[in-house]
Amino acid sequence: MKMLINVPETVVADALRGMAAAHPELAVDVENRVIVRKDAPVAGKVGLVSGGGSGHEPLHGGFVGPGMLSAACPGEVFTSPVPDQMVRAAAAVDSGAGVLFVVKNYTGDVLNFDMAAELAEDEGIQVAKVLVDDDVAVTDSLYTAGRRGTGATLFVEKIAGAAADEGQPLERVEAVARQVNENSRSFGVALSACTTPAKGTPTFDLPAGELELGIGIHGEPGRERRPMMTSGEIAEVALDAILEDLTPRNPVLVLVNGMGATPLLELYGFNAEVQRVLGERGVPVARVLVGNYVTSLDMAGASVTLCQIDEELLRLWDAPVRTPGLRWGM
């Protein structure tokens, strides 16, 4: 496989150096693998910290900035960051109002963020944690106990980030984040496997003419393999799975997310089918976001995330945000 890298061993450090050069509004510590808002800590503001393996960009480092995360900790490709990174990030953003850890439900992330919370509290930092577990495709997998954390991570980080920027207290920011997660469901599909720099070959075998339904963001296999389907058929399968588990009483936020190698031409066409199915199912849509936000390296495919919202969550979603990967209203 041809990749635009130097050597696999330095791919994350090289990306962080490039990010630092492109975004002077961020403090990027390449050696210690921590990305922080340059204005942190902000007096009276809850710090919002997340992180995970690299390879999902712009998640998480691309979501650091006003209106979203205070700091992010990138691990090696598809590998959890270590507790020292998380403690360093918490200390950098803590203003005395506490820190919220946003944790995707993958075993390594959960264990390391739990350990980091204990270490940070030993240093006098008040820490709360919210687990994101929105994927309806599988319950237990190679990487998780329970559901995987996928596209809803963006919704949690944006909406909780807006609440934190308003100066809401830690208990309220945590409650908002939990509400978003509890009201979110996701389902993904792969048209090709992804390729990690270290391996140099696809992470699983997906024959020509077939697709994988219910994949995770680390290239984990899904719940079912089928012959290739049309965009409309895929939208029906994905939304049937989501709506079996979520019965929206309010309008929803919709994320149509590319897995890294799917062109926007295809994603917008897929979104048209998603909107058609939601209309047929009588689900009102408040806002739609289309693009590559929670990716899996060079995987072709897409995921759909729905989040049932109320007026307050919609207000926080619409609040201004300015990060490398998401921005509006500023």
Residue 182: strand, helix, or coil = helix
Give Cα separations from 127 to 99, 156, 170 (angstroms).
5, 17, 9
| Amino acid in position 272 | A
Residue 143's alpha-carbon distances to 12, 85, 107, 215, 223, in angstroms, are 21, 21, 6, 12, 14
Active-site residue, selected from the candidate residues 23, 45, 56, 104 = 56
pTM over 0.85: yes
pLDDT band at 145 (very low <50, low <70, confident <90, very high): confident
Answer yes or no: are the C-beta atoms of 245 and 183 closer than 8 Å.
no
Which one from 72, 74, 218, 222 is the annotated catalytic residue?
A: 218
Q: What is the pLDDT of residue 219?
A: 74
Annotation marks residue 56 as catalytic: yes
Distance CA 118, CA 129 (A): 11
Q: Give tens-digit pLDDT for 163-205.
A: 999 999 999 999 999 999 999 999 999 999 999 999 998 888 8
218 is catalytic: yes
Burial of 314 (0-12, 13-18, 19+ CB in 10 A): middle
Per-residue pLDDT at 140: 67
Which pLDDT belongs to residue 286? 98
